[in-house]
A = this chain, B = another copy of it.
Amino acid sequence: MAATIRDVAQRAGVSFKTVSRVLNDEPSVRPETRERVRAAIRELAYTPHHTARQMRTRRSKTIGFVSDEIATSPFAVDIVKGAQLAAWEHGMMLLVVNTERDPEVERAAIASLLERRVEGIVYAAMFHRVVEPLPRLREVPTVLVDCHDAAGAYPAVVPDEEQGGYLATRTLIDRGHRRIGFVNLDPVASAAAAAGRLAGYRRALRDTGLPFDERLVLHVTTAPDQGFRLTSALLDLEDRPTALFCGNDRTAAGAYCAIYQRGLRIPDDVAVVGFDDQEEIAAHLMPPLTSVALPHLAMGRWGVERLVQSFETSSRPAATYAVQRLSCPLVERASH
């Protein structure tokens, strides 16, 4: 006969509740106790019986994760990772679907998740933007990650772009730079991030009494050679900048090529700070790139935690929610 949770408790010499806490990966169990329970689980080959538990508690223990393309984009996968870690900690699974930004696929995906009785939905965008959530998302608790709706009808979390832009610029100013070039993101495709970071750049100059020179701020288009091209333009200015704030690390990779092709050194002649902290790029350039990180992991985690919170309270949802902004930390390497 299959072992029950009570057999596990008896063998480990703990209470039923403690085993349950270990199964749900709750942090409140002491490591030795956790190890003892896990040993008992292994020895008895115990498997928690999902279906029975689900029938008893009427909970599917499943959260839907709908994304435009996050889960299949190298850029923002940490959002999925954060959400999955938090889900596991609460004994829940994520049902992940990507819509590839096709409205029909999105409609079908949400219908499909609701039919599978997900307890809530994390709706995530690949980059910070305003979205119009489909009405059916009202049927279960839903949170928005890396995006928000104009009406504030859903709890939502986004990066604090303005703080990130400020931090990047201020880091360079604090190293003594007075002319800082800014290769900003595409103001149309990445409106929220581009505007927020520019506001941060301007505030850092203002706070330190430096003038704003519009010739030092360029915006990329979607072409791939923009980092190289716009950096070249900035370095060709008569009074060229001694430091460069790049709107993302991809752009910084191109900037490195432009700087080196002119025989200049990093950071001695031109200091560089990137944005996004894409490890795959930042850690492999030489010198390794200092970059402001997007809080992808924290946002994914926030989404699931916020959902679980709403499962546990029976209070009515609020009429509107303020957008939560998570700060973007500096990852210091050697380019600044």
How distant is the Cα of A97 from the Cα of B95 in the complex, in angstroms?
Answer: 8
How distant is the Cα of A93 from the Cα of B96 in the complex, in angstroms?
Answer: 9
State the main secondary structure of chain A at its contact with B: helix
**Chain B residue contacts of A250, Cβ below 8 A:** 280-281, 283-284
How distant is the Cα of A285 from the Cα of B51 in the complex, in angstroms?
Answer: 52
Q: How many identical subunits does the complex contain? A: 2
Q: A50-B112, A283-B224 are in contact. Are A93 and B93 (CB under 8 A)?
A: no
Selecting from A80-88, A147-155, A302-310, the interface stretch reads A80-88
B284 contacts A251, C-beta separation under 8 Å: yes
Number of interface residues of A (CB under 8 A): 54
Minimal beta-carbon separation of A330 from chain B (angstroms): 18
**Chain B residue contacts of A257, Cβ below 8 A:** 256, 260, 285-286
Nearest chain-B residue to A109 (Cβ)?
B93
Minimal beta-carbon separation of A58 from chain B (angstroms): 15
**Chain B residue contacts of A331, Cβ below 8 A:** none
Selecting from A4-12, A70-78, A188-196, A316-324, the interface stretch reads A70-78
B111 contacts A278, C-beta separation under 8 Å: no
Q: Which residues of A contact B (CB under 8 A)?
A: 38, 47-51, 62, 71-75, 77-78, 80-81, 84, 88, 93-98, 104-105, 109, 111-112, 115-116, 224-225, 227-228, 250-251, 253-254, 256-258, 260-261, 263, 278-281, 283-286, 288
